[in-house]
């Protein structure tokens, strides 16, 4: 069982994120439905560059994959990349 399944969301649950490079740049990591595909891809690439400098990249990526996070860039992976890793197809 993934370790996150047994935890309640608390400050301790999210403490790994305290040192994340994305803090203060959250708008870069999530796209709006009305954004053009090219704009979305550019934002994703910029977000991934921030991720590559992040000291908690591994924890972030593990969290996103274990919790099946559906939206945004997490741990240097886009929504589509996480879906491919999980063997799912994105429907939206």
Model confidence over 5-51: pLDDT tens digits? Answer: 555 666 777 788 889 999 999 889 998 889 999 999 999 999 999 99
* Biggest alpha carbon–alpha carbon distance for the chain: 39
Model confidence over 40-83: pLDDT tens digits? Answer: 999 999 999 999 999 999 999 999 999 899 899 999 999 999 99
51 has binding-site annotation = yes
Question: Would you state the structure tokens that stand for residue 72, as one six-digit string?
Answer: 């945004």
Q: Which neighbouring-strand residues pair with 73?
A: none
Say what the pLDDT of residue 1 is: 47
4 has binding-site annotation = no
Helix (H, G, I), strand (E, B) or coil at 49: helix
Question: Would you state the structure tokens that stand for residue 75, as one six-digit string?
Answer: 């741990």
CA distance 18 to 85: 26
3 has binding-site annotation = no
Question: Would you state the structure tokens that stand for residue 7, as one six-digit string?
Answer: 């935890």
pTM (two decimals): 0.79
54 has binding-site annotation = yes
């Amino acid at each position: 069982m993934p370790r996150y399944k047994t935890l309640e969301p608390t400050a301790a649950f999210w403490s790994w994120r305290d040192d994340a490079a994305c803090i203060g740049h959250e708008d870069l990591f999530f796209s709006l439905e009305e954004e053009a595909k090219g704009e979305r891809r550019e934002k994703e690439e910029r977000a991934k560059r921030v991720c590559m400098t992040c000291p908690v990249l591994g924890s972030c990526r593990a969290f996103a994959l274990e919790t099946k996070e559906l939206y945004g860039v997490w741990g240097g992976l886009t929504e589509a990349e996480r879906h491919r890793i999980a063997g799912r197809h994105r429907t939206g």
